[in-house]
Structure 1
Amino acid sequence: MTGNDAAKKQTDPDRFRPVDLGPRDVVAEHRPDGSILFRSPFPLPAYPERLTDRLVDWAEATPDRLFLAGRPAGGGDGDGAGWRRFTYAETLDLVRRIGAALLTRHLTRERPIVILSGNDIEHALLGLAAQYVGIPYAPVSPAYSLISTDYAKLRYIVELVTPGLIFAADGAAFAPALDAATPRGCEVVVARNPGPGQTLFDTLANGEDAGADPAAADTANATVGPDTIAKILFTSGSTGMPKGVVNTQRMLTSNQEMIACAFPYFRDEPPVILDWAPWNHTAGGNHNFGIALYNGGTFYIDDGNPTPAGIERTVRNLRDVSPNWYFNVPKGFDALVPYLRDDPGLRETFFKDLKVLFYAGAGMAQHVWDDLDAMATRTCGARILRLCGFGATETGPFALVLLWDAPAGHVGIPAPGVDIKLVPNGAKLEARIRSPSVLPGYWRQPDMTAAAFDADGYYMLGDAMRFADPDDPSAGLVFDGRVKEDFKLDTGTWVNVGPLRGAFIDHFAPYVSDVVIAGLNRDYVSALVFVDPNACRRLAGLPADGGLAALVADDAVRAAFRDRLESFARTATGSSNRVVRLLLMPEPPSIDRHEMTDKGSINQRAVLENRAALIETLYAEPPGPDVLALA
């Protein structure tokens, strides 16, 4: 390489690090009724009957390869010595022993397992053991136990599942929730700090139960098939109480084969993943964890998250781990950027082996991508592809995948084995999905199951899509909002809430955490804005322990929002995307009032219903002093 070539390698802003990805071929069929069938022309390759078959395979082929690593409770030191590590052979041995202990408890489909706590080694081993012997389990959002004050969602889930065993990592931390929701006669297992009558997890793992024979676990495993229920994942409850999505073994394994088709580089370079995404959600528990297991990779449990305290732990962990596939939500990438910018050593470790940045949950703000591109190019001589997928808890989740560089909102093409049906719904195309990774139904909720599918057996997502290029289906689909969120102004003009929310958040970054769009049957569009406390505190120069009410009343904060409201209006093309007034919310959305899901997603409908008085304030004439309005 010449000196000029080396200089170009370090500064070329258009070069991506090479990575082997799946094909972009698609088939689009226009039907007489106006619907469009959209699919991959490639059949889905064969996949195992059970996800744990891959654990057995890798334990035989690569017994000493590291599979699972996690920090001990309370954290560990930052030099790498603080990780608890388990090879594939060690993991399988523990899974067989724990599975045998579960069988002695006569747990069944009618008496499954509920897991209250978050991602850790014990959670992973218990979940794999339950799958190995065919006992369903339900990982439940820790927020329902640790943040909720009325435990309503937790009690609802426990009553619906009827568990025979409940697991929580810490008996003391989860004591109030356990007291509120544990059914009579249900065994409670904890990893530490047991209360009276509770079982220590090590009792299961050490084979101390009478009659717990690992050979019995193998016998039970032989009866597990594609239709066996692996787990019950509860939706976030964005429209009320959560729904239990039945996940079969077929859903898990077929979905992982779809992912493997999209990322064939995993065949030659087993994935190394550091991930915090909660296992009670399909993205973390099915998609991310499954990628490591299915492809013989290594999964590091990140005990951090995209919060001011959590991001410090993520950064500590990234000093130890060089991932070759990295997942996060937009807020997580945004939180990580300042640390990467300020720390050359962290940048070197992070970008060293990285092939794909994978995001989900929302579109990424352009300034975040620009920062990541610049740092990657400076560090390793190339940009890293930022890709995404699209799906739902009910679809496994993997259904659509973006395999090329594209702006936020693009969700790509169907994976092999996935049929997308786009059905006219007003001015939009409503997306529906049929594939082997689609749920068979909701747990003990037959009415909701029947309502979820159309006459052709397609699961109805409730999301709208459009083609990025109507003349070239291989350019993929673009997310076009939630069908039921859109509304009309009193002029009859449709407001497409999804794209408008995304544009608003991007324009007001970094000061906005989320926004709810209002204006049904009104003259104009307005917004209820949930501010990003940290960004606004930096702007205002206020201490970190101050309340939201003082923050949203600060003159500097209000001036910044007023300026951006005016500049955002200048980008509008008409009344459908011109926000005229906004209110800064003095309190965060409430998980108990269904305004926010446990993963931080806003529930537009619940906020509008719960804060109807504030909507009236927005439209009062003249506007009150708290309302920011265009002149």
Structure 2
Amino acid sequence: MNGAFRDVRIGRTTADLQAQPDGSQVLRVREPLGTYPDTLMERLDHWAEVAPDRLFVAQRDATGQWRRFSYRQTREVVRKLAQALLDRGLSSERPVAILSGNSIEHLLLGLAAMYVGIPYAPISPAYSLISTDYGKLRHIIELLTPGLLLVEKGDDFAAAVNAVAPSVETWAMDPGQQSMTAFDALLATTVTEAVDEAHAQVTPDTIAKFLFTSGSTGMPKGVINTNRMLCSNQEMLVSLMEFMRDEPPVLVDWLPWNHTFGGNHNVGIVLYNGGSLYIDDGKPVPGQIEKTLANLREIAPTVYFNVPKGFELLAAELDADESLRRFFFSKLKLMFFAGAGLAQHVWDKLDELAQETIGSKVGMLTGLGATETAPSALFASLEESQSGVIGLPAHGVDIKLVPNGGKLECRVRGPNVMPGYWRQPDITARCFDEDGFYCLGDAAKFIDPENPQRGLRFDGRISEDFKLDTGTWVSVGPLRAKIIAEGAPLVQDVVIAGLDRPFVSVLIFPDREQCRQLAGLGKDAALTEVLDSEPVRSRVRALLQQLVDTSTGSSNCVRRAILLAEPPKLDAHEITDKGSINQRAVLENRAERVADLYSKTPTDAVIRLD
């Protein structure tokens, strides 16, 4: 959609592309990265002195009122908690582990740990509250060897804590019936000179936190996040979003802090630039987005971040509610999504609504990053920004493009890149090349090969795994094996679809003879007739229901399927000479069938539960 953007200062860059002797290319921008502080907590000290009464963080309490902490109040509490951590002899060998979700207490404790050089690890609450065997939580605890745990409600987390860390001291915001230390009791701690002494010893290479990958392809890995990584990445961000230097950002944000987008990118933007964070207690799902809408009716953000599914739901609400729309766009300078691709019709609707409301579009930025890059590595310009465009390297970042299987594999080097995975040197070594570039596992291609200045477009994962539009990873290998096993003998092989889509669907290569027997139509019946028969379709529908009933989340909940009459083609690279399916080739060659799976009005070929 054409139209001018709201007038905001967005940094512009000029790129250079250098060919390397090994056939790779290195892309970097000419503009140098600006200076940045040695530690992120220097920014807390700065804002507590420069703007002591400015709101730093707010969260609704049980009555629906906002609990508010200014920068001065935040630093006072952080120093008390930091003393309590020092009193317990915590260190990188015995760090802090936070098992609960976003909260003021979570934030204060994390800042306190960083203030005195003690790493902390925010861990997905699902590992404690949803998991039944606590396998991933146990793995993380054994890897970390924490000296302290923080939970929200002691009664909710007691089973997980007792299963994986019964001897570790645990603080609770609400101990309930458990013998846990009440968080509020720590606020009476007397601060000594030890806090200032420890604070002065924190360096750019001091570990600030550990962030654990999702573990979709195995057990989670602990990504080391140093102060250098966090501070350099924030300077990269403000070099792009220059308006934040002049106007402290206001965020209304739900994104979880155990992920790098919420915990590093968004919280960091607020702290680095002296902004205000309103912790959103909603989620981009029906039944919970109402809380987000209530917050957005009261607080007008200046920058808004979400996953594609969140923007999709929000666009519909903005379209239906003029007063919400006017308030939402009233101060908004920029939007940004991550985790997956944003559907073009959603993007167009947001542009249309902004133009109707304020007379101009609000820029939507795109880019690429990872937990291992703190997270941002590339950004698109507003002019080039669209779903799938990842743009040019951030200031101070080098992107190496290495030919790999017909694609260009992206590798990253810069001050924002991790030193490695915690206590996993072998895995770390495999993730870096001989020139010190971190191997992202993503592929890219130039928007215009004749004009690299326009930047790059995302070209898929080097591996087969992908994300839904909610940002949830789908682990293809295990899911494929499960479907084949549970669909036996009817299912011969299967291809998983769902990249940037709201749910998982499948293309099934059926066992023809088994289908023919089940259909009961005789040996002379055409295969299309066999596959269209009610007994066969009912069996596939039952398989889908079984997968839904046994799923642990959207990553392995399959809602639609198509039975393919045409077998995989060797010449089209759909099947290798060893007989294995090339998932990428099948999805590309049968794009019309994939489109049918996700159509609002699918053909009769689609077997579905919805």
Check the 8 A contact 2:217/2:475 in 1, yes or no: no
SS in 2 for 1:172: helix
Instruction: Give the one of 200, 205, 209 matched to 1:227.
Output: 205
Partner of 1:444: 423
Partner of 2:142: 159
1:165-564 to 2 correspondence within 5 Å?
A: 165-184=148-167, 186-207=168-189, 212-405=190-383, 406-485=385-464, 526-527=495-496
1:214 and 1:474, CA in 2 relative to 1: closer, same or farther beyond 3 A? farther
The two structures have a TM-score, normalised by structure 1, of 0.77
1:435 and 1:114, CA in 2 relative to 1: closer, same or farther beyond 3 A? same
Check the 8 A contact 1:115/1:168 in 2, yes or no: yes
Tell me how far apart the structure 2 counterparts of residues 280 and 27 of structure 1 sit (CA, whole Å). 35
* Structure 1 residue 203 displacement after superposition: 1.5
The two structures have a TM-score, normalised by structure 2, of 0.79
1:109 and 1:471, CA in 2 relative to 1: closer, same or farther beyond 3 A? same
1:253-294 alpha-carbon deviations (Å, 9 max, x no partner): 111111111111111111111111100011100000000000
* Structure 1 residue 150 displacement after superposition: 1.4
1:187 and 1:66, CA in 2 relative to 1: closer, same or farther beyond 3 A? same
1:220 and 1:514, CA in 2 relative to 1: closer, same or farther beyond 3 A? closer
SS in 1 for 2:366: strand
1:401-443 alpha-carbon deviations (Å, 9 max, x no partner): 1121433100111011100000111211111000011111111
Check the 8 A contact 2:366/2:387 in 1, yes or no: no
Instruction: Give the one of 12, 15, 20 matched to 2:9.
Output: 20
Partner of 1:35: 24
1:172 and 1:259, CA in 2 relative to 1: closer, same or farther beyond 3 A? same
Give unmatched runs, 5+ long, in structure 2.
482-490, 504-539, 558-579, 587-596, 598-602
1:129-168 alpha-carbon deviations (Å, 9 max, x no partner): 0000111111000111111121110111111111110000
Check the 8 A contact 2:216/2:474 in 1, yes or no: no
1:596 and 1:68, CA in 2 relative to 1: closer, same or farther beyond 3 A? farther
Query: Quick one: which amino acid aligns to residue 31 of structure 1?
Result: Q
1:475 and 1:218, CA in 2 relative to 1: closer, same or farther beyond 3 A? same
Matched positions, count: 518
Tell me how far apart the structure 2 counterparts of residues 363 and 332 of structure 1 sit (CA, whole Å). 12
Check the 8 A contact 1:240/1:594 in 2, yes or no: no
Tell me how far apart the structure 2 counterparts of residues 60 and 361 of structure 1 sit (CA, whole Å). 36
1:160-193 alpha-carbon deviations (Å, 9 max, x no partner): 1111100001112212212222242x11000113
Partner of 1:622: none
Instruction: Give the one of 68, 82, 87 matched to 1:85.
Output: 68
Check the 8 A contact 1:529/1:583 in 2, yes or no: no
1:55-66 to 2 correspondence within 5 Å?
A: 55-66=44-55
Tell me how far apart the structure 2 counterparts of residues 378 and 593 of structure 1 sit (CA, whole Å). 38
1:336 and 1:630, CA in 2 relative to 1: closer, same or farther beyond 3 A? closer
1:257 and 1:239, CA in 2 relative to 1: closer, same or farther beyond 3 A? same
Check the 8 A contact 1:515/1:527 in 2, yes or no: no
Tell me how far apart the structure 1 counterparts of residues 462 and 498 of structure 2 sit (CA, whole Å). 22
Partner of 1:95: 78
1:291 and 1:596, CA in 2 relative to 1: closer, same or farther beyond 3 A? farther
* Structure 1 residue 46 displacement after superposition: 1.4
Tell me how far apart the structure 2 counterparts of residues 526 and 398 of structure 1 sit (CA, whole Å). 31
1:271 and 1:155, CA in 2 relative to 1: closer, same or farther beyond 3 A? same
Query: Quick one: which amino acid aligns to residue 160 of structure 2?
Result: A
Query: Quick one: which amino acid aligns to residue 19 of structure 1?
Result: V
* Structure 1 residue 109 displacement after superposition: 1.3
Tell me how far apart the structure 2 counterparts of residues 246 and 373 of structure 1 sit (CA, whole Å). 38
Q: Is 1:53 paired with 2:42?
A: yes
Partner of 1:488: none
1:593 and 1:162, CA in 2 relative to 1: closer, same or farther beyond 3 A? farther
Give unmatched runs, 5+ long, in structure 1.
1-11, 486-496, 534-580, 598-611, 619-625
* Structure 1 residue 583 displacement after superposition: 10
Tell me how far apart the structure 1 counterparts of residues 274 and 44 of structure 2 sit (CA, whole Å). 8
Tell me how far apart the structure 2 counterparts of residues 456 and 393 of structure 1 sit (CA, whole Å). 20
1:557-577 alpha-carbon deviations (Å, 9 max, x no partner): xxxxxxxxxxxxxxxxxxxxx
1:524 and 1:21, CA in 2 relative to 1: closer, same or farther beyond 3 A? farther
Check the 8 A contact 1:516/1:528 in 2, yes or no: no
* Structure 1 residue 363 displacement after superposition: 1.0
Identity %: 52
- The structure showing larger relative contact order (alpha-carbon pairs under 8 Å, at least 6 residues apart) is 1
Query: Quick one: which amino acid aligns to residue 113 of structure 1?
Result: V
Check the 8 A contact 2:175/2:181 in 1, yes or no: no
- Aligned CA RMSD, in angstroms, stands at 3.3
SS in 2 for 1:469: coil
Query: Quick one: which amino acid aligns to residue 70 of structure 1?
Result: Q
SS in 1 for 2:155: coil
